[in-house]
Amino acid sequence: MRRLRPGALFRWHRYAGALASVFLILVALTGVAVNHLDDVGLGDTRVTWSPLMSWYGLGVGAVPMTAFRAGDQVFAWVDGTLYDATGGESGKGGAGVRLAHRPVGAVAVGRLVAMASPHEIVLLTREGGDVVERLRDEDLPGRIVRLGAGGNQVFVQASGRLYKTDPSFLNWTAAARSESGTIRWSAAIAVPEAVKGQWRGEGLPLERVLLDLHSGRLWGGGAWMSDLSALAIVFLVVSGLLNWRQRNR
């Protein structure tokens, strides 16, 4: 049997040690941290760092959301659901109103709030946010681009033209160009932080993040890297013992 040259085993022992050192230090530090989180009072700590939340698929940036002011109310739309976010909170505790497409505006008229998306207008009661009616394509003058209000009328820019309706929303008529000066077009506002927070929840438990770092599951294929590190430890032990034996001869 061919014998390993003196020094070759030690060289491999050195390479394996260098390669595994980064992971071993990480595994050691995270392991110690997880074991003593409660001792240092961090057992209930949660992480809300945006890049990390995004990495876990809980980032606000990954979720379509927008918000509009209608009268003295604020409505937030998050991924197909509409919430009354007046006062910076989701008024319905998460049980929102379905609105499939991203809204283009909201206005308050009379006792109603109208929230428009390109193919649908949802009418809600100002008090309670109950759905009064859903106006779909057949009830609209075209694909809605903008929603606004002027006087006691509601205006939409749809299919390249300007239309108006009264608070009943029953009929749409073409609006004169001279009326456009009186329209206050609805524009998106910043999504309230409380709404973003509700989407994110309370954040990730620090213990969860450390355990995922420890096991390597925090990054793709990380678990395999941890497995290789574990095998490297076995190799280091065996090669270290063999080196010791060779040197004693």
The residues with which 69 forms a beta bridge, in sequence order, are 74
| Cβ at position 209, least distance to another protein in Å | 36
- Residue selected from 39, 72, 127, 138 as contacting another protein according to rule CB under 8 A: 138
Residue 23 or 163 having the CB closest to another protein: 163
Residue 46 or 92 having the CB closest to another protein: 92
- Residue selected from 38, 137, 202, 227 as contacting another protein according to rule CB under 8 A: 137
Residues 6 or more apart whose CB falls under 8 angstroms from that of 136 comprise 119, 120
Tokens of 125: 């009661």
| Cβ at position 100, least distance to another protein in Å | 11
Question: Which span sits near another protein by CB under 8 A: 5-13, 54-62, 101-109, 134-142?
Answer: 134-142
With beta carbons less than 8 A apart as the criterion, state whether 60 and 50 touch.
yes
Give the contact letters, 67-106, x = binds to another protein (CB under 8 A), - = no.
Answer: ----------------------------------------
Q: Write the burial class of residue 76 (CB in 10 Å: 0-12 exposed, 13-18 middle, 19+ buried).
A: buried
> Residue 139 interacts with another protein (CB under 8 A)?
yes
The dihedrals phi and psi of 195, each to the nearest 5 degrees, come to -70, -45
Distance CA 180, CA 158 (A): 14
What's the DSSP call for residue 219?
Answer: S
Distance CA 10, CA 12 (A): 5
Distance CA 134, CA 123 (A): 6
- Residue selected from 33, 91, 133, 240 as contacting another protein according to rule CB under 8 A: 133
First and final C-alpha spacing in the chain: 19
> Residue 125 interacts with another protein (CB under 8 A)?
yes
> Residue 132 interacts with another protein (CB under 8 A)?
yes
- Residue selected from 50, 171, 173, 182 as contacting another protein according to rule CB under 8 A: 171
Tell me the site size for another protein, rule CB under 8 A: 13
Short-list 125, 123, 217, 129, CA closest to 170: 123
Residue 133 or 179 having the CB closest to another protein: 133
Residue 11 or 161 having the CB closest to another protein: 161
Instruction: Name the CA radius of gyration of the chain, rounded.
Output: 31
| Cβ at position 171, least distance to another protein in Å | 6
Short-list 97, 92, 150, CA closest to 121: 97
| Cβ at position 131, least distance to another protein in Å | 5
> Residue 25 interacts with another protein (CB under 8 A)?
no
Tokens of 156: 């939409």
Interface residues with another protein (CB under 8 A) are: 125, 130-134, 136-139, 168, 170-171
